[in-house]
């Protein structure tokens, strides 16, 4: 894939539709640490299903953004972690936040394409994936490739939004994965997070519009896309995190 295609894929994974946004994404999302993931939900799920993670576990956060998941897992459980993301400004932020949280010796961050990561990593105890991109193919193809990174009988934490739990669970079966446990995201909490995030993005888009009035449409369209997505997530979609087990 060309750099232009990669830019488009990154923007698309962040709910944008215009690759010209790429250079403004760091500013638009400056105030956000969690870019869609809900580490609190995942921690609740891991505690309930596995009694937490063990210090000798290795965790791989695929498409980690600013590292919200893996950094909070390292803090909570003392695990070793690796975060990969294709967007260098997010990896820079993740490394900076790791230092702020004194987690830089626990978690390493690399700029890497998901397609490379699924061939590069093996023997991982827990892989985190947020279903944010289709570069590996459909959901079944993606989960099968991600499974190859895990040790047999180990786990994938899959954060997604779906129209149908039945279809989603059929996809897991077809991928050869067992469902260990799942946690629906609380709608009230989601709503509050969404309001906060949209407000921050709107503020930053407003500042960019003052600096680049000729690009106002570009920023307005991004804000509108965020609002549309939030509406969809809050009305039609079910947001859920699954803990899946790979075949033994
Ligand atoms: C919605 S964000 C989620 C980030 C993080 N999981 C979180 O929730 O905070 C999607 C991420 O996927 C990354 N991404 C998109 N395509 C990618 C690819 N082909 N390889 C690696 N990362 C990719 C983007 O740069 C972005 O950080």
Q: Taking 80 as the threshold, does the pLDDT of residue 1 lie above it?
A: no
For the segment 217-247, what is each residue's pLDDT rounded down to a tens digit?
999 999 999 999 999 999 999 999 999 999 9
Nearest alpha-carbon partner for 160 in 150, 175, 106, 96: 175
With a cut of 90, say whether residue 51 has pLDDT above it.
yes
Residue 2 has pLDDT above 90, yes or no: no
pLDDT at residue 61, rounded to an integer: 98
Q: Whose CA is nearest to atom 4 of ligand 1?
A: 65
Domains of the chain, by residue range, sit at: 3-187+234-245
* Confidence category of residue 186, pLDDT binned at 50, 70, 90: very high
Instruction: Judge if the beta carbon of residue 90 lies within 6 A of ligand 1.
Output: yes
* C-beta of 113 in contact with ligand 1 (< 6 A): yes
Do 140 and 113 meet the contact criterion of CB atoms below 8 Å apart? no
For 157-166, give one letter per residue: b (16+ CB within 10 A) or e: bbbbbbeeee
Query: In the predicted model, is pLDDT for residue 165 greater than 80?
Result: yes
Distances (CA, A) of 160 to 129, 152, 237: 9, 23, 10
**Hey, whose CA ends up nearest to atom 16 of ligand 1?**
10
Atom number of ligand 1 nearest to Cα 35: 9
Beta pairing partners, 245: 155, 178
> Is residue 49 predicted with pLDDT exceeding 80?
yes
Q: How much is the pLDDT for 150?
A: 98
User: Does ligand 1 lie within 6 Å of residue 70's CB atom?
Assistant: no
Per-residue pLDDT averaged across 87-108, rounded?
98
Dump pLDDT digits (tens) for 9-23: 999 999 999 999 999
Residue ID of nearest Cα to ligand 1 atom 26 = 65
Question: Fold for domain 3-187+234-245?
Answer: Rossmann fold (3.40.50)
Give the Å distance between the CA of 44 and the centre of ligand 1. 23
Banded model confidence at residue 4, pLDDT cuts 50, 70, 90: confident
The reply to whether ligand 1 has any atom less than 6 angstroms from the CB of 86 is yes
* pLDDT computed for residue 3 by the predictor: 81
Bridge pairing between strands 80-85 and 107-111: parallel
| pLDDT tens digits along 21-43 | 999 999 999 999 999 999 999 99
Structure-derived torsion over alpha carbons of residues 137, 151, 77, 45, reported in degrees to the nearest 10:
60
Average pLDDT across the chain, whole number: 96
The stretches of 29-164 forming alpha helices (DSSP H) are 39-50, 68-77, 88-100, 114-120, 139-147
Average pLDDT over residues 167-188: 97
Per DSSP, which regions of 63-217 are E strands?
80-85, 107-111, 124-129, 150-162, 178-184
| Residue 128 pLDDT exceeds 80 | yes
- Residue closest by Cα to atom 11 of ligand 1: 63
Percent of the chain at pLDDT above 70?
A: 100
Distance 78 CA to ligand 1 centre (A): 24
């Amino acid at each position: 894939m060309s750099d232009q295609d990669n830019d488009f894929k990154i923007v698309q994974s962040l709910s944008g539709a215009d690759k010209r946004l790429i250079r403004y994404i760091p500013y638009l999302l400056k105030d956000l640490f969690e870019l869609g993931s809900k580490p609190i939900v995942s921690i609740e799920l891991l505690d309930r299903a596995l009694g937490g993670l063990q210090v000798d576990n290795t965790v791989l956060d695929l498409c980690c953004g600013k590292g919200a998941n893996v950094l909070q897992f390292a803090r909570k459980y003392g695990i070793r972690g690796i975060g990969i993301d294709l967007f260098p400004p997010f990896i820079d932020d993740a490394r900076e936040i790791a230092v702020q949280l004194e987690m830089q010796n626990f978690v390493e961050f690399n700029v890497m394409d998901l397609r490379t990561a699924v061939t590069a990593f093996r023997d991982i105890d827990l892989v985190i994936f947020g279903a944010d991109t289709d570069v590996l193919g459909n959901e079944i193809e993606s989960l099968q490739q991600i499974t190859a990174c895990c040790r047999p009988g180990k786990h994938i934490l899959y954060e997604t939004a779906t129209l149908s739990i039945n279809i989603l669970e059929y996809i897991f079966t077809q991928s050869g994965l067992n469902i260990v446990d799942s946690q629906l995201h609380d709608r009230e909490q989601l709503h509050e997070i969404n309001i906060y995030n949209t407000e921050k993005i709107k503020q930053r888009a407003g500042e960019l519009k003052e600096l680049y009035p000729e690009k106002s449409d570009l920023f307005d369209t991004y804000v509108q896309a965020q609002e549309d997505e939030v509406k969809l997530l809050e009305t039609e979609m079910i947001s859920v995190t699954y803990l899946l087990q790979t075949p033994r």
